[in-house]
């Protein structure tokens, strides 16, 4: 059965390029970006993992731990890491899970047989400190992920977890947000001291409250 938003992310133990982990212990009180790639020594994956390493500072600012996975062996991962570092001029700074028996890939429904019976698709899971799945994305093997978008949705997830707001289309950090309909106008005055604008009775905009 596929995993859904709000489900507890399944726990597992696995070897990675940075040592053995228990996934829930790895999460700890952080957010986690778990993402799969089809195979080691492939061109798009090499750029994706390099981009993730280059964005290390952005992930740290958001208290997010990236962790990658494919169904290759630990030996294969370790041989591939120097290529990632060379191509992207970066030092790898996050773990890659070795899953040659496909245990984690199947647990997280990362293998879509109609796309490939052997390789994982480009799955993305954002998991909160409560171990619950907050976001899922699935890309085909032919399309590299947009990590600017992944950072954007993490910003939205973290903001909306702490305030009674939602983010509109194309929102980026710093833009106005929408007050959720469950908050009355009377309560909104107290909750959002920067004020708000009523575009429609159900659409009220307010400056981003955590800035």
Two tokens at 155? 């910003």
Answer for the pair 96, 68: CB distance below 8 angstroms, yes or no: yes
Answer for the pair 121, 111: CB distance below 8 angstroms, yes or no: yes
45 an active-site residue?
A: yes
Answer for the pair 206, 163: CB distance below 8 angstroms, yes or no: no
Q: Of the candidates 111, 116, 128, 208, which has an alpha carbon nearest to the alpha carbon of residue 168?
A: 208
Answer for the pair 111, 84: CB distance below 8 angstroms, yes or no: no
pLDDT given for residue 141 in this prediction: 87
Helices (H), 55-102: 56-61, 74-88
Tell me which DSSP letter residue 180 carries: -
- Regions of the chain short of the pLDDT cut 50: none
Q: Of the candidates 164, 14, 161, which has an alpha carbon nearest to the alpha carbon of residue 34?
A: 14
Q: Of the candidates 111, 115, 76, 77, which has an alpha carbon nearest to the alpha carbon of residue 95?
A: 77
Catalytic residue, chosen from 45, 97, 127, 151, is 45
pLDDT in tens, 123-182: 999 999 999 999 999 998 899 999 999 999 999 999 999 999 999 999 999 999 999 999
pTM: 0.94
Q: Of the candidates 160, 169, 165, which has an alpha carbon nearest to the alpha carbon of residue 204?
A: 165
At 131 the three-state DSSP class reads coil
Which residues are bridge partners to 127 per DSSP? 32, 133
Which residues are bridge partners to 67 per DSSP? 34
């Amino acid at each position: 059965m596929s995993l859904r938003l709000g489900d507890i992310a399944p726990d597992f133990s696995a070897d990675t390029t940075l040592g053995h982990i228990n996934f829930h212990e790895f999460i700890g009180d952080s957010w986690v970006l778990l993402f799969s790639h089809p195979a080691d020594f492939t061109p798009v994956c090499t750029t994706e993992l390099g981009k993730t390493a280059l964005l290390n500072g952005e992930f740290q600012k958001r208290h997010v731990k990236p962790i990658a996975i494919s169904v290759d062996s630990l030996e294969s991962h370790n041989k591939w890491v120097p290529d990632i570092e060379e191509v992207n001029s970066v030092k790898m700074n996050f773990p890659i899970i070795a899953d040659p028996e496909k245990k984690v890939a199947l647990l997280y429904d990362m293998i879509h047989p109609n796309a490939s019976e052997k390789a994982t698709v480009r799955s993305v899971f954002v998991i909160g400190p409560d171990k619950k799945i907050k976001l899922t994305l699935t890309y085909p093997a032919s399309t590299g992920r947009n990590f600017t978008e992944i950072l954007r949705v993490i910003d939205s997830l973290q903001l909306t977890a702490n305030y009674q707001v939602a983010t509109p289309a194309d929102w980026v950090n710093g833009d106005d947000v929408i007050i959720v309909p469950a908050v009355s106008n009377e309560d909104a005055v107290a909750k959002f001291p920067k004020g708000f604008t009523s575009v429609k009775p159900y659409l009220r905009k307010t400056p981003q409250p955590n800035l």
